[in-house]
Amino acid sequence: MDTRIYLDHNATTPVDPRVLERMLPAFHRDFGNASSRSHAFGWRAQELVETAREEVAGAIGARPAEIVFTSGATEAINLAIRGVAEASTARGRHLVTSRAEHSAVLDCARHLEGRGWEVTWLDPSPTGRVPAESVAAALRDDTVLVALMWANNEVGAINPIAEVGALCRARGVTLFTDATQGVGKVPVDVAAAGVDLLSMTAHKLYGPKGAGALFVRSGEPRVRLVPQQLGGGQERGLRAGTLNVPGIVGLGAACRLAVEEMDTEGPRLARLRDRLEERITAELDGVHLNGDRAHRLPATLHLSFDGVEAEALMLAMPDVAVSSGAACSSGSAAPSHVLRAMGVPDTRAHGSIRFGLGRFTTEEEVDRAARLVVEGVRRLRGTSPATPASPDASSRVHS
Ligand code: PLP
C-alpha cells in the first residue's frame, strides 16, 4: 500500500485519468501533424487542436483565436515579456513587476534590465499581495508593460488584477498576468479583468507537462508581440514549431474539467486546507500563516514553524510530500525570494512549509498529514510528549 501523501500540487499535479483518456488517441490513431493540410490525418489533428483552443479560451473568457499554444508557462512568459519589449521600444523602456513573481518573470525582467530597460520592482504587502496603489504609483509616461501574477505559487496570495487592469487600460499600458496558479482554481476572466496577455500551463491543473498557452488579446489597441521562436509559422507566426497535439488536447480537457468542477472543488479544497491548518494549530504553538486569508488560492497553505528547519521537518515526515520555498528553485538553501519580499524574517522563512492540496486529496490524508506534521515538529523542538526521538531520526535531523 502506498502510504505517501502528495501535498505539493503547486509544483505539479497528476494527470486526471479523464484527461489522459482524451489524450491517448492523439498519440496513435489521431497522430497527424496539425499543419498537414493535404490529408485527413492532418485535418483530424487540426480539429483536435481547435477543440482544445475553444476549451482553453472558454476557461478564461477569451476567444479561441486569442490562444497561442506553447510548451508551458515559462515559454508563454518569455513570449509575453520579451515579445512585448521587442515590439515596443519606440514607446518606452519601462517595465513594472513585483519581487514575488515566478523566476521565469524575474529572469525576463532582469534580461531586459541588462538591455537598457528600467524595471520598477514592487514589493508585495506582508500578506503577499501587490496593492493596485503600488502599481498606480509606479506607472510612468514611458511604461510599456506591467507584469503581475494572478496568484502566487508559494503563498497563494491573489493579486487585485482587475484593479490593475483598469489602471493599465486608462494609461494605455499593456498588462501581462502569469495566471499559471490561478486558471482552473479560481475564476479568471480576461475581459472582465482587462488583461492583455496571460500565461498558463497544463501541469498545474491535472493536465500533462510540456503544454501551455499564452492568451493574446485581439482587437484595438493591438497587442504587439515579436515572436521568440522562428520556423514554420504555426500559431499565426507567434510560436513556430510542430504542435504538441496530445499535450494540447490534454490542456483543453484539463481546462474544461477544472472549470466545470470549480464550484464544488474550490469549497471542498478550502475546507480541507482549513482543516489541515486547524489540526496543526490546535496542537502546536508558534505556527504562523504566510499569505492572505481573504485573497488566497483555495488549496494553498503556507506555514512557518518556530524553532524548526523546514528541511529537517520534511526529513522527519518522509511520507508527506510538501515543499519549502519554491519547488522550481529548491536545491538552493537561500530563503524563498517571495517570503523575503513579503518581509518574513529569514529565520522564520527557513522554518516554512508549503502545503498544496489537490483534486485527489482526501480528508483522511489531511488528518494523517496533520498528525505527522505535529509529531515531526514536536520531535524537532524536543517537546515530544512520548519518548525522545529515535536515534535514527535524530541523526538524520542533525546531519
Ligand atoms: N509561473 C508560475 C506561477 C508557476 O508556478 C510555474 C511553475 O513552476 C511557472 C510559471 C512555470 O510553468 P512551466 O513549468 O509550465 O514552465
Q: Are the CB atoms for 389 and 375 separated by under 8 Å?
A: no
> Of the residues 153, 161, 185, 336, which should be mutated to test ligand 1's pocket, given the most ligand atoms within 8 Å of the CB?
153
Q: What is the pLDDT of residue 15?
A: 98
Q: Residue 218: what residue type?
A: S
Strands 174-178 and 212-216: unpaired
Q: What are the tens digits of pLDDT across the range 221-270?
A: 999 999 999 999 999 999 999 999 999 999 999 999 999 999 999 999 99
Distance 327 CA to ligand 1 centre (A): 10
For ligand 1, residues with CB inside 6 Å are 72-74, 102, 104, 149, 153, 178, 180-181, 201, 212, 328
Residue with cell 505535529: 374
**Identity of residue 249:** V
State how far Cα 91 lies from the chain centre.
Answer: 30
139-175 burial by CB neighbour count: b if 16+ within 10 A, else e? Answer: beeebbbbbbbbbbbbbbbbbbbebbbbbbeeeebbb
Query: What pLDDT shows up at residue 327?
Result: 40
| CA–CA separation, 65 and 214 (whole Å) | 11
Looking from the CA of residue 328, the nearest atom of ligand 1 is 8
Q: Does residue 180 register a pLDDT over 60?
A: yes
Q: Give the residue from 28, 372, 35 showing the smallest Cα distance to 233.
A: 35
The pLDDT of 351-375, averaged and rounded, is 98
Distance 102 CA to ligand 1 centre (A): 7
Task: Tell me the per-residue pLDDT of 188-212, one tens digit each, with 9 for 90 and over.
Answer: 999 999 999 999 999 999 999 999 9
Q: Which atom of ligand 1 is nearest to the CA of 10?
A: 5
- 71 CA closest ligand 1 atom index: 15
Question: For the chain, what is the HEC assignment?
Answer: CCCCEECECCCCCCCCHHHHHHHHHHCCCCCCCCCCCCCHHHHHHHHHHHHHHHHHHHHHCCCHHHEEEECCHHHHHHHHHHHHHHHCCCCCCEEEEECCCCHHHHHHHHHHHCCCCEEEEECCCCCCCCCHHHHHHHCCCCEEEEECCCECCCCCEECCHHHHHHHHHHHCCEEEEECCCCCCCCCCCHHHHCCCEEEEEHHHCCCCCCCEEEEECCCCCCCCCCCCCCCCCCHHHCCCCCCCHHHHHHHHHHHHHHHHHHHHHHHHHHHHHHHHHHHHHHHCCCEEECCCCCCECCCEEEEEECCCCHHHHHHHCCCEECECCCHHHECECCCCHHHHHHCCCHHHHHCEEEEECCCCCCHHHHHHHHHHHHHHHHHHHCCCCCCCCCHHHHHHHHC
Choice from 180, 181, 251, 302 to test ligand 1 binding pocket (greatest atom count within 8 A of CB): 180
CA atoms of 162 and 165, how far apart (whole Å): 5
The ligand 1 atom nearest the CA atom of 77: 10
97, 122 in Cβ contact below 8 A? yes
Using the mean position of ligand 1's atoms as its centre, give its distance from the Cα of residue 108 in Å: 13
Q: Are 34 and 244 in contact (CB under 8 A)?
A: no
pLDDT at 397: 27
**73 contact partners, CB below 8 Å, separation of at least 6:** 102, 104, 178, 180, 199, 200, 201, 204, 212
- Report the mean per-residue pLDDT for the chain: 94
In this structure, the residue with its CA closest to atom 10 of ligand 1 is 73
* Per-residue pLDDT tens digits for 127-148: 999 999 999 999 999 999 999 9
Q: Ligand 1: distance of its center to the CA of 169 in Å?
A: 26
Ligand 1 atom closest to the CA of 209, numbered from 1: 15
Distances in Å between the Cα of 177 and the Cα atoms of 182, 202, 255, 337 are 10, 16, 18, 19
The pLDDT of residue 334: 84
Ligand 1 centroid to 390 CA: how many Å?
A: 39
Q: Whose CA is nearest to atom 5 of ligand 1?
A: 153
- 106 Cα–ligand 1 center, Å: 12
Nearest to 85 by CA among 146, 159, 12: 146
Q: What global pTM score does this model have?
A: 0.94
Positive or negative CA dihedral for 330, 335, 337, 343? Answer: positive
- Nearest ligand 1 atom to alpha carbon 72: 15
> Binning pLDDT at 50, 70 and 90, where does residue 384 land?
confident
Phi, psi of 304 (to 5 degrees): -110, 140
Give the residue, by CA position, lying nearest to ligand 1 atom 9: 73
CA distance 281 to 254: 34
Mutate to test the pocket of ligand 1, among 70, 74, 158 (most ligand atoms within 8 A of CB): 74
* Residues with catalytic roles: 328
pLDDT single digits (tens) 322-335: 998 644 444 556 88
**Ligand 1 center to residue 201 CA distance, Å?**
7
Task: Judge if the upstream peptide bond of residue 131 is cis by omega within 30 degrees of 0.
Answer: no
Closest residue (by CA) to atom 7 of ligand 1?
11
The answer to whether 64 touches 53, Cβ cutoff 8 Å, is: yes
8 Å CB contact between 145 and 115: no
Side-chain-side CA neighbours of residue 61 (13 Å): 13
- Is it the case that residue 275 has pLDDT exceeding 70? yes
